[in-house]
Amino acid sequence: MTEASKKPVRSLQAITPGSPFRRLDVPPRLPDSSRRTGAEPLSDFRPSRRHADLGPDFFDVVAPADFPSAILRYRNQAWARRVGLDDLSDEAWIAHFARFTPLPGSFEQPLALRYHGHQFRSYNPDLGDGRGFLFAQLHDRRDRRLLDLGTKGSGTTPWSRGADGRLTLKGGVREVLATAMLEALGVETSKSFSLIETGEALERGDEPSPARSAVLVRLSHSHLRIGTFQRFLFLEQPEAIGRLVDHVVETYYPAIQEAEPAERAAQFFEAMVARVARMGAQWMAAGFVHGVLNTDNINVTGESFDYGPWRFAPAHDPAFTAAYFDEWGLYSFGRQPEALFWNLSRLADCLLGLVPKERLEAGLKSFGPALQDAFAEAILARLGVTPAQGEGEGAVHRLVGAFWAFLETSRAPFEQVFFDWRGGLASEPRAARSPAGEHYAGDAFRPVHAAFQAMRPAAGANLEHPYFAREKPCTMLIDEVEALWAPIAEADDWSAFHAKLAAIETMAEATGTRPLPPEA
């Protein structure tokens, strides 16, 4: 019996709705004597094969594509340092991340992961890694957490469904820009680790063809997702769901692994509800629209990943969408929390055989409060403020409510307002000189100004940083993305792309969101 020959079962009803960036736009140089070629051991690299412990029901062993060429366009040196791969020569980097020579101690062959999922709320049992695979696992040298190196555009797999398994270079550039910007804005996101142009001409309907090709490698805490659980519910294999829960808890939630099985599964669900709520709150505070919030795009660590038709909203507009094919606005900016809640409800469906329904419903009810708490935290972090002495939670809620209402009613430039009022009233003179200054002079801003009275600059506000002497913040609107791509497409000129990454790095330095070094 094939996976597609069965129908989904049971549904729990919803209750409530150093520089990290290096310019590498030339063919790779030969390695010098100070950089590892890949043949010798990697002394700072902490490999893992943890995913293989799940067994062959969870993945297919696959082979990568054989690309005609490989030009290194981007390597994330800050995160390479965090995982002990920063000393690789460019030649060795290409060997591992375009030719997929195994990293010592991790998988000998890549694994294409199996999963199902709801796509725009329509169940699809024919999903799975169709143009990517899990290449390697490794540990963060700073916090020892397990990380995945997963690919996009690495060739066909049993789940490609007739597609070519490739990624356009433009798609890879867009993902690098998305992840760099989100990380700088304080969002828990996957990291674009490597982008290599691969020399193929691709036919695509959504961009001019033939399109240049690339292979992307992302660094993420997990590629297990809600759709992984859904697959076993669909196949009526409850024992596999139990094994998956045990694996996820032992690997990503070790603090709860000593609980009894039912309690362990319940606590996992509650922890994941909180993490997914945090992810949604961070998107909203960043003005970000993911675009494709299907259940196969929500992973078990509550980390944002897999960026296709993403957008940053120019202004607070609940109806703003990212995907041209989202005709009903299902995943619009303002509906993202609802979409995440719906997806968590589908995870609850999968756990009904392990956890009492009432406990799962209680877990779902915690989503709203968790979202509100995480949203307040994200707004205060972006504004660089904290309650003044003697002020408490009420002051925080007043500021967050007033600030968010002002953004929606005024339609002031989203990122500009956060930039202008970094540090609260300490930045009032600077805000008055802002291009958006007229928005702050009227009655609509008075509640925000009054709420700022109970706040003071946070310790990390960093208002003396040269970044805050600028007139405008670093932004990543769709017109800017297209402008960054144009010189690459027309003249293979990568200077604007790298200048933008440098600007994002400056913003991250100013706001305290740069990746920390591996040393404690």
| Residue range 382-394, pLDDT digits in tens | 999 999 999 989 9
Please name the residues in contact with 462: beta carbons below 8 A apart, sequence gap of 6 or more: 384, 468, 510, 511, 512
Q: Is 112 helix (H, G, I), strand (E, B) or coil?
A: strand
User: Mind giving me the DSSP string for 215-282?
Assistant: EEEEEES---BHHHHHHHHHTT-HHHHHHHHHHHHHHH-GGGTTS-HHHHHHHHHHHHHHHHHHHHHH
| Structure confidence at residue 402 (pLDDT) | 98
- Whether 103 contacts 136, CB under 8 Å: yes
The reply, when asked if residue 53 is annotated as ligand binding, is no
Q: Is 386 helix (H, G, I), strand (E, B) or coil?
A: strand
The reply, when asked if residue 225 is annotated as ligand binding, is yes
Of 436, 56, 475, 484, nearest in space to 288 by CA = 475
Return d(Cα 214, Cα 167) in angstroms, integer: 6
The reply, when asked if residue 306 is annotated as ligand binding, is yes
- Whether 424 contacts 355, CB under 8 Å: no
| Structure confidence at residue 174 (pLDDT) | 98
The distance from CA 55 to its chain's CA centroid, rounded to whole angstroms, is 27
10-residue averages of pLDDT along the chain (520 residues): 45 34 30 44 87 96 97 98 96 98 97 97 95 98 97 96 95 98 98 98 86 98 98 97 97 95 97 98 98 97 95 98 94 98 98 97 98 98 96 95 98 98 98 97 96 97 97 98 98 98 98 88
| Structure confidence at residue 43 (pLDDT) | 74
Q: Please, which residues bridge with residue 113 across strands?
A: 59
The residue extents of the domains of the chain are: 26-226, 385-459
Between the CA of residue 92 and those of 21, 38, 89, 149, 392, what are the distances in Å?
18, 5, 5, 16, 53
The reply, when asked if residue 7 is annotated as ligand binding, is no
Q: Which of 86, 90, 148, 296 is catalytic?
A: 296
pTM for this model (two decimals): 0.92
The reply, when asked if residue 131 is annotated as ligand binding, is yes
Q: Is 296 a catalytic residue?
A: yes
| Structure confidence at residue 209 (pLDDT) | 82
Whether the link from the prior residue into 8 is cis, omega within 30° of 0, is no
The reply, when asked if residue 326 is annotated as ligand binding, is no
Return d(Cα 259, Cα 323) in angstroms, integer: 42
